[in-house]
């Protein structure tokens, strides 16, 4: 038997699952929302369950928030590192996107962007977790915030990562 490893798109699926904020969507709904196939959603959820980041039960898939927090804050930057690329047109991410853009003064250097032909910003290319992430994020503001925070954890400087951690934790445990 081969060991199933997490893939970047699994974190994308996990972020979308978190964006439902307790609602249990069908795989078909997630597929539409993420613009990926139902079989890809199913495979991602299986890998997430094996990694103990999601619990699968009769009501659907439920994120295990403590494990998710630990993985995103401490593991995602090692599992899925990212490095800035070329200047391109795209969608703002990391510290240049909400919510961090409201907290961090932008400097003179070009901001990080996901390459996207319909994007309105020019910046340094940052590969998204999955190719459909920019379009999906633009349709769901909460998902956009989660993905931008995850990118800040993956590539940001120490201060940006600390703020991203605080903002992410606030979204994962809003009622505590």
DSSP one-letter string for 135-152? HHHHH-HHHHHHHHHHHH
pTM value is 0.94
90-132 per-position pLDDT tens digit: 999 999 999 999 988 877 889 999 999 999 999 999 999 999 9
pLDDT recorded at residue 42: 95
Beta strands in 5-92 (DSSP E): 54-57, 60-63, 87-92
| Domains of the chain, earliest start first | 8-79 (1.10.10.10), 87-172 (no CATH)
Q: What is the percent of the chain where pLDDT is above 70?
A: 95
Confidence tier at 58 by pLDDT (50, 70, 90): low
Residue 163 has pLDDT above 60, yes or no: yes
- Nearest to residue 48, comparing CAs of 35, 33, 32, 30? 30
- The proportion of the chain whose per-residue pLDDT surpasses 90, expressed as a percent, equals 82
Yes or no: say if 164 and 152 are a contact pair by the CB < 8 Å rule.
yes
Ramachandran class of 37: left when φ > 0, alpha when ψ lies in -120 to 50, beta otherwise: beta
pLDDT at residue number 176 = 46
Tokens read off for 57: 């039960």
**DSSP E strands: which ranges in 67-170?**
87-92, 112-115, 121-125
Average pLDDT score over residue span 157-173: 94
């Amino acid at each position: 038997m081969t060991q199933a490893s997490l893939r970047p798109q699994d974190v994308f699926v996990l972020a979308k699952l978190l964006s439902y904020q307790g609602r249990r969507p069908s795989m078909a709904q997630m597929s539409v929302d993420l613009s990926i196939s139902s079989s890809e959603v199913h495979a991602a959820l299986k890998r997430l369950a094996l990694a103990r980041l999601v619990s699968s039960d009769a009501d659907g898939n439920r994120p295990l928030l403590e494990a998710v927090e630990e993985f995103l804050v401490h593991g995602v930057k090692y599992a899925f590192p990212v490095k800035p690329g070329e200047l391109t047109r795209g969608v703002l991410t990391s510290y240049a996107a909400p919510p961090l853009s409201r907290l961090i003064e932008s400097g003179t250097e070009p901001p990080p962007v996901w390459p996207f032909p319909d994007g309105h910003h020019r910046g340094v290319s940052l590969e998204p977790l999955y190719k459909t992430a920019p379009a999906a994020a633009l349709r769901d503001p909460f998902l956009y915030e989660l993905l931008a925070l995850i990118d800040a954890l993956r590539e940001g400087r120490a201060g940006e990562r600390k703020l991203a951690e605080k903002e992410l934790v606030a979204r994962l445990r809003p009622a505590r």
